[in-house]
Amino acid sequence: MIPALAHIGDSHPRRRVRARSLARRTADTIGGAVSEVMLNDDLASSPGLMQALDPRIKLASILLFAVTASFVHSLPVLAALIVSTAGLAYVSNVSVASFARKVAGSAGFFALLLAAPSVTAWITPGPVLVPLGPASVTLPGLVVATRLIARVVAGAGFGLLVIWTTRWSDVLRALTALGMPDLVVATLAMTQKQIMSLLRTIENMHLARESRMLSAGTARENRGWVVDRMAFVAQRSMKTADEVYDAMLARGFAGRMPSLVELHTRSADWTWLASALVLSALFLLVDRMVFPV
């Protein structure tokens, strides 16, 4: 009888240890997001092929690859574009597995949602593969949906690779050098700083609540607290934005975002851009000549 009581007494604390509160889960998620941003900065500073390129050349070449992916029709060439992004990630010391998870979990998922209706006979008629009435899956619809998903994944993969291998200050400086309006660059700069600040604030609020609670609380209490904190963060963000803007005006802000980053284009950068042009032309040539529509 005593061992049975001891077993019951031991199992209850284990359940409490495994059951994490809403505050704890949210704080862990936010902490992971902030840590990921910090890791991206470390990755952008590490040696690698993409890290060594001029940010302006990277933006131009990645835009070129993304446009190329939008003009490609054949699935084998689109697959080659996706593989090339993984190859660039590998030679840039980026974890290919992590890179693939990010692309598939963000761009791939939303592309799947957008492409799902085109699979049905109602949108794309043709030979039926899975009979489901008006929602039957057709062969032409499946090809169209796969092509759309592959295009989005290829373009998003190139874009993600640039962000991962370039410091945010370098991206902003490159956008300014390429003629992006100052208002857009200033908005991007302040948005990134504001998001990081708010993430830290939210994380601290959840950790403070976690440290002051003896239990996880009921679902209703947790929902009410989350809604209240959402309103607080919204008010805090607007107040902080006004204060930051007033401080910028007081210090002479006139719409431009000055940068201490000096960009230098080397012969290796021009070689990379020329190679990107040749490779894009080769992809389009193979798509038109070997896999005509």
Residues 150 and 217 both lie in one domain: no
Residues 116 and 210 both lie in one domain: no
- 120 falls within a domain: yes
Residues 236 and 99 both lie in one domain: no
Residues 123 and 139 both lie in one domain: yes
pLDDT band, residue 2 (cuts 50/70/90):
very low
**SS3 (DSSP) at 137:** strand
- Asked if 68 and 283 touch (Cβ cutoff 8 Å), the reply is yes
- At residue 195, the pLDDT reads 74
pLDDT exceeds 80 at position 59 = yes
Residues 220 and 279 both lie in one domain: no
- 113 falls within a domain: yes
Model pLDDT for residues 225-284, shown as the tens digit of each residue = 777 777 777 777 778 777 777 887 787 777 666 666 677 788 888 998 899 899 999 999
- 16 falls within a domain: no
Model pLDDT for residues 141-184, shown as the tens digit of each residue = 888 888 888 888 888 888 888 888 888 778 888 888 777 787 77
Model pLDDT for residues 9-47, shown as the tens digit of each residue = 444 444 444 445 555 666 666 656 555 655 566 777 778
Residues 218 and 73 both lie in one domain: no
Distance CA 20, CA 25 (A): 6
- At residue 278, the pLDDT reads 92
Strand partners, 137: 120, 130
- 12 falls within a domain: no
Distance CA 237, CA 60 (A): 34
User: Helix 139-164 crosses helix 22-45 at what angle (to 10 degrees)?
Assistant: 70
What 38-42 contacts at long range (C-beta under 8 Å, 24+ apart), as own/partner pairs, is 40/163, 40/164, 41/167, 41/168
pLDDT exceeds 70 at position 8 = no
Provide, rounded to the nearest whole percent, the portion of the chain with pLDDT above 90: 3
Residue keyed to tokens 């400086």: 173
- 208 falls within a domain: yes
- 3 falls within a domain: no
As a whole number, the mean pLDDT across the chain is: 77
Calculate the alpha carbon distances from 208 to 53, 212, 213, 245 in Å.
43, 6, 9, 29
Residues 154 and 268 both lie in one domain: yes
Range of the domain at 205: 179-262
Between CA 153 and CA 90, with CA 35 as vertex, the angle to 5 degrees is 40
User: Would you state the structure tokens that stand for residue 247, as one six-digit string?
Assistant: 């401080």
Rounded to two decimals, the pTM is 0.67
What 104-110 contacts at long range (C-beta under 8 Å, 24+ apart), as own/partner pairs, is 104/153, 106/156, 107/152, 107/153, 107/155, 107/156, 107/157, 107/160, 108/149, 108/152, 108/153, 108/156, 110/152
- Asked if 141 and 118 touch (Cβ cutoff 8 Å), the reply is yes
Model pLDDT for residues 179-200, shown as the tens digit of each residue = 778 777 777 777 777 777 777 7
Residues 224 and 122 both lie in one domain: no
Between CA 281 and CA 280, with CA 284 as vertex, the angle to 5 degrees is 35
Residues 267 and 152 both lie in one domain: yes
State the alpha helices, DSSP H only, in 165-266: 168-177, 182-211, 219-250
- 14 falls within a domain: no
Residues 238 and 249 both lie in one domain: yes
Residues 240 and 292 both lie in one domain: no
- 24 falls within a domain: no
Residues 113 and 76 both lie in one domain: yes
**SS3 (DSSP) at 217:** coil
Domain count, the chain: 2
